[in-house]
Amino acid sequence: MRIKKILANSYPEALTRVKEELGEDALVLKTRSIKFGQEGGGQGASMVEITAAMEDASHPSSVMTIAEEPGAEGSKPLGANRKFLNSSNDDREMRSLIYTLLSQTDRAKSMGLHGEQLHTYQHLVECGIDEHLAARVFETLNENSPDRGLDMTRVADRVGESFHFSGPIRLDAVGPKIVALLGPTGSGKTTTVAKLAARFALLERKKVVLVSLDTFRLGALEQLQIYGDLMRVPVEMATDRNEFLQILNRHQDADLILIDTMGRNPRDEQYVEELKQIFSAAPNLETHLVQSATAQESVFEHSLKQFQPLGVDRIVMTKIDEGMQFGHLYNIASRHSVPFSYFTNGQRVPEDIEVAALEGVIRLIFG
């Protein structure tokens, strides 16, 4: 793409020069009026500047910016002082300006998409997939195939390649499997613990123990105790590492120990450090980050970052039934290698939970 700044005495003159030098299809990015003062305090000349862009077929990936400056006293002919912005900083700034001002279609073309692919590309973006990641999908497909149209099935297959799935919780051959659910307040940790406990205790007839580390939220233990009573499984509470270790020692005959953690703000570094200290009592502990499908992608990213010191082994997506767009799942999968374990889609225990699988993800994203 060729970028040029045109300086002229009036807007009509500047637009005429844009068409002459860049062609009828040139895109006007920015306009502004400039005044130049005269020596002695007199009123200076007024000029206009137009920044325009045009695809350069011979150099599609190059960006050249030319700024025309008048002489110090207006005595030099227009164009006598041309300034080429070749430094990396100027180039980056101009590219950023262009990307911001261009329409979504123009941005897609600038990233290498063909016209026949724009409809499918726009569908991906509307589903919540990041523009750059959506463009990368087509870039990869274009490299491997000359077919510019690309039906939705091939695009969906390419999107699916970025996902990893762990399957259900697998119990250990010897000793209890220990699984902790992490996540921000309101993500659905306690309900998910109950659903998992019901699946293993009631459907698979396994010996399950529930442990609450949530001493912060009022009524947290009582809520978990209600689920425990209904399923006839023991419910324990630990406030520190020693209490947690005692619980583990008491239930060495269990098949599965499920841990419901505190629902405090993950920005609280002390909270994460407290969990790390408690978890040190169980070296083989498996962690599942619980995240609501209704949460913003930035919240998802922040949770992954904040809980990373604990080691995030799996991701559980909750409240699927309340979500509107699911393209952000692809964004997360593309940037992180953490596999998905379960999806939950309602409040019923134990019905509204399923093992995460590719078919379900593609259905969520593409409808």
* pLDDT value for 70: 42
pTM for this entry: 0.70
HSE (side-chain half, CA atoms, 13 Å) at 176: 24
> What proportions of the chain, in percent to the nearest 5, are helix, strand and coil?
40, 20, 40
* pLDDT value for 76: 42
Q: What is the pLDDT of residues 12-29, one digit of tens each?
A: 788 888 888 887 767 777
Do residues 279 and 303 touch, judged by C-beta distance below 8 A? no
Q: In the chain, what is the greatest distance between 2 CA atoms, to the nearest angstrom? A: 95
Q: Tell me which of 295 and 16 has the higher pLDDT.
A: 295
Mean pLDDT, the chain, rounded, equals 81
- Average confidence (pLDDT) over 276-282: 95
Residues 6 or more apart whose Cβ sits within 8 Å of residue 139: 111, 112
* H and E: helices and strands count for the chain: 13, 13
pLDDT band at residue 300 using 50, 70 and 90 as cut-offs: very high
Q: What angle do CA 324, 328, 330 make, to 5 degrees?
A: 125
Collapsing DSSP to helix, strand or coil, 235 comes out as strand
- Average confidence (pLDDT) over 146-165: 82
Do residues 91 and 3 touch, judged by C-beta distance below 8 A? no
Q: What is the pLDDT of residues 201-260, one digit of tens each?
A: 999 999 999 999 977 665 678 889 999 999 999 999 999 999 999 999 999 999 999 999
CA-only gyration radius of the chain, Å: 30
Calpha distance 169→179 (Å, rounded): 8
- Average confidence (pLDDT) over 36-45: 55
Q: How do 208-212 and 286-292 pair as beta strands?
A: unpaired
* pLDDT value for 79: 37
Residues 6 or more apart whose Cβ sits within 8 Å of residue 84: 64, 65, 66
Give me the architecture of the 177-366 domain, per CATH. 3-Layer(aba) Sandwich (3.40)
Calpha distance 315→151 (Å, rounded): 30
* pLDDT value for 332: 95
HSE (side-chain half, CA atoms, 13 Å) at 356: 24
* pLDDT value for 242: 96
32-46 burial: b if 16+ Cβ within 10 Å, else e = eeeeeeeeeeeeeee
Do residues 289 and 307 touch, judged by C-beta distance below 8 A? yes
Give the E-state strand segments of the chain in sequence order: 2-8, 27-36, 45-54, 66-69, 81-84, 177-182, 208-212, 235-237, 256-260, 286-292, 314-318, 340-344, 353-355
Q: What is the pLDDT of residues 341-363, one digit of tens each?
A: 999 998 888 899 999 999 999 99
- Average confidence (pLDDT) over 109-121: 70
* pLDDT value for 322: 92
pLDDT band at residue 69 using 50, 70 and 90 as cut-offs: very low
From 68-82, 122-136, 277-291, 298-312, the region with the lowest mean pLDDT = 68-82
Backbone angles phi, psi at 24, to 5 degrees: -65, -25
pLDDT band at residue 326 using 50, 70 and 90 as cut-offs: very high
Beta bridge partners of 209: 257
